[in-house]
Amino acid sequence: MKFMKVEDYSIEEYSKLEKKRLQETYADIEQNKVILAYKLVTLSSQEKKIAHCDLIINRDVEKFRSGLLRSLAAKFAIYERYVDGDLDYARGISHLDGFLIFDCMLIGKKSLSKKMATYFNLEDRFTKSEANNPAFRMGLLLKYYILEDAKNSRSELQQCINYATSKSSWKNYAGYFKLLKLLVEESRDLAVISEALGDAADSFKKLKKGSGVFSGLLEGMYDLWTIAFLNLFKENGIDVDLGKYDFPKELVSGYLSE
């Protein structure tokens, strides 16, 4: 497998590729919103006014009201700093779970995902603190899944599911870990998949009650998790009726049954 290196693309070339991919992947989002988010972040990055992702998130509350757009903004900053060779910056944002946003955005396009999955060496950051962070662990699992690393995926996944069903701080992640387990096991049991989707939708609904910038970022993270898993089920030929779950209609409109 040939992995993409930083020098393989200029920022301009990679930005064009990424913008095109976003428009294709998120066809259900108004195109002008995606382009707006892209332009705002690109402009800020070029002007060297961005010190941290959280500055982007706060840069224009009205334009980044949607959690998904806030996540897009954070991701573009990570991309452009990374492609520009600023590795310390790209790896130093665990407080914003930027690595997870990165993985989730790519998971809908597996061929590109595999090339890019090594951008963040998550294993090197597996500290005691991160080991207890469900968002970090999900990012690690998504990387294993993208690279088809079944051995690591299965052992890590079981431990995460145990945490998600026993630790109070992990409870709202249980549905998403269960969905990933079903994908790893290549399950086609619609009843079990339906139950896991119901758990994920409940988690999503509880999260939406939060407020503030951090809640907005988590909202975007859950948006991306949901889209990532729906893309994967669709890719595996599994059709699920999302109409009976309490996901936001604007988020899942492209997946609703006729």
pLDDT averaged over consecutive 10-residue blocks of the chain (258 residues)? 34 51 45 42 39 38 42 49 44 41 44 47 54 72 71 80 83 84 84 87 69 48 69 75 73 55
* Residue 51 CB neighbour total at 10 angstroms: 10
pLDDT at position 209: 54
pLDDT at position 214: 44
Residue 1: HSE in the Cβ half-sphere, 13 Å Cα cutoff: 13
Report how far residue 187's alpha carbon sits from residue 17's, in angstroms, rounded to the nearest whole number: 33
C-beta separation of 220 from 70 below 8 A:
yes
Report how far residue 196's alpha carbon sits from residue 192's, in angstroms, rounded to the nearest whole number: 6
C-beta separation of 197 from 175 below 8 A:
yes
pLDDT at position 191: 87
Report how far residue 57's alpha carbon sits from residue 71's, in angstroms, rounded to the nearest whole number: 8
pLDDT at position 146: 66
3-state secondary structure at position 5:
coil
Q: Is the dihedral of CA 50, 121, 132, 75 positive or negative?
A: positive
C-beta separation of 201 from 245 below 8 A:
yes
C-beta separation of 90 from 82 below 8 A:
yes
Report how far residue 176's alpha carbon sits from residue 203's, in angstroms, rounded to the nearest whole number: 9
Q: Can you say how many angstroms the Cα of residue 47 is from the centroid of all Cα atoms in its chain? A: 27
